[in-house]
Structure 1
Amino acid sequence: MLHLVIADSELELAPKLIVDHPAIVNYAKRRNKKPEEVLLDSTYHHSALKKLEDGERRGRPDIVHVCLLNALESIANKEGKLRVYVHTRNDEVIYIKPETRIPRNYNRFVGLMESLFKNGVVPEGLELLRMEEKSLAELIDEIKPDGVFVMHENGESMKPQEFGKVLAGLQSPLVVVGGFPHGDFRSEIPGKKISFYKAPLMAWTVVNEIIINFEHWVL
């Protein structure tokens, strides 16, 4: 079983510091929501982000959206060989059942995440998505993998197919992919750093390479 964690993801509700900013207030009003209940999104809130620490990298739910679409629709997931988790910058962990169908439409995905932040689970009863306050280290301790790997541009260079073989040789490997647009991880992560390419890659590209090359050896 491969465990994939999209870590330090820039997925959060509008922080208290900027809930009264016109960009947030007007956006919330258009959507008939309270400002504190809308997902932070750099596309709409870039002027408000200037007031936040790390504002240049925050408000990127689109990264999580594409990564989840790719992972949950993969053959590995359909064959029961994959578990996917999202860890946020504010140390929340989203547990995702393999049968979950993430909305392909981005606006619907945003609404789903807002409901999850508000209610802790979606949908009620099925709990396909469940959110808990938990650090990345606590999640790793809970999973108890027999190998932890961190995808990092400064990591050991390894061909994707070679890495897939390494993962396939373990019972319960865990791979961490950054859910942020640039910069480094905020969390301290114990594990071996791996790099697929000489230049930075988009998170969803890395997710695809990991899963496809894992599938090559296990399916």
Structure 2
Amino acid sequence: MSSKRKNDDNETGEHEQETHESVESMHPHSVPKDKQLRQKLFKNAKNDSQRLIIILEKANLEAVSLGKKFELLNCDDHMNQIRKYKKDPAFCRPDITHQCLLMLFDSPLNRAGLLQVFIHTQQNILIEIDPQTRLPRTFKRFANLMVQLLHKLGIRSTNGPNKLMKVIKNPITSHLPIGCRKIGTTFQSKNLVHPKDLVPSDDSPVAIVIGAMAHGQVDVDYVEDTVSISQYPLSAALACTKIVSAFEEAWGIH
């Protein structure tokens, strides 16, 4: 479902302090420089077992060569390249992933240390993002960071040695807790549930798959159940919002 790109400032009004980083490209052309991520300083929750794991599937994150630089392919800026490579503009929407990530990482659930996020791209690239990552607020900076990540395979914090974003090995199931319940979401599912029904009755972790694309549905073989959380089609960002809010309410996070 198409969504408008959001470049809002964060609620706290904090200005991101970031430093430039050159990228060692695997390609002969240079990769645009961008600003690094800063690491948040809030604490993770002590209970490592109880958490919500969000997997953004079929994310449209693809770098394309434009002369001597690379950019993140998107339908607003690269229609010539989209026509050249005969791609569907509906599947050139990295802004959808950006919207989802801003919502997820700004949430109280994440600040409580009870959220974990993975991205699985249309090109079968698996990305893990540290829960303490402060993401760029604007799409342009986000796009530049994604290009760096896709070429360097990792982005480090400016105030620590940790990699806040990194490409990891497939499959996603090897990075999930043993026995973790895995649930897919799609509007086409006849199993309509309230988001609060997805919250485990015990303290076990649960993984929920959300499609990070404009159209279509996610068809993956690792989920045990597939549900719909609304009788109406939802954007990916709104689906993230409804699910995270339900878990926050159930777990008493405000």
Q: TM > 0.5 between the two?
A: yes
Whether contact under 8 Å (1:4, 1:83) holds in the other structure is: yes
* Match 1:126 to one of 157, 162, 174: 162
2:202 is aligned with 1:152: no
Which runs of no fewer than 5 residues in structure 1 stay unpaired? 20-24
Paired with 2:114 and 2:205, the residues of 1 have a C-alpha distance of 10
SS at match of 2:244: helix
* Amino acid across the alignment from 1:149: I
Q: CA RMSD in A?
A: 1.9
* Amino acid across the alignment from 1:128: L
Deviation at 1:186, TM superposition (A): 5.5
Whether contact under 8 Å (1:2, 1:167) holds in the other structure is: no
Whether contact under 8 Å (2:173, 2:222) holds in the other structure is: no
1:179 corresponding residue in structure 2? 212
Deviation at 1:162, TM superposition (A): 2.9
Higher helix content, 1 or 2:
1
In structure 2, the CA distance between the partners of 1:185 and 1:126, relative to structure 1 (3 Å rule), is same
Q: Deviations over 1:116-137 (max 9, x none)?
A: 1111111274311011342xxx
2:150 corresponding residue in structure 1? 117
SS at match of 1:109: helix
1:13 corresponding residue in structure 2? 63
1:31-46 map, 5 Å = 33-34=68-69, 37-46=70-79
**Aligned residue pair count:** 197
Using the aligned pairs only, state the percent identity. Answer: 25
Deviation at 1:8, TM superposition (A): 1.1
Deviation at 1:11, TM superposition (A): 1.0
1:189-208 map, 5 Å = 189-208=222-241
2:81 is aligned with 1:48: yes
Paired with 2:224 and 2:140, the residues of 1 have a C-alpha distance of 35
2:29 corresponding residue in structure 1? none
In structure 2, the CA distance between the partners of 1:168 and 1:38, relative to structure 1 (3 Å rule), is farther
2:137 is aligned with 1:87: no
SS at match of 2:77: helix
Deviation at 1:55, TM superposition (A): 1.7
2:176 corresponding residue in structure 1? 143
TM-score normalised over the length of structure 2: 0.72
In structure 2, the CA distance between the partners of 1:130 and 1:191, relative to structure 1 (3 Å rule), is same
Which runs of no fewer than 5 residues in structure 2 stay unpaired? 1-50
Paired with 2:81 and 2:233, the residues of 1 have a C-alpha distance of 27
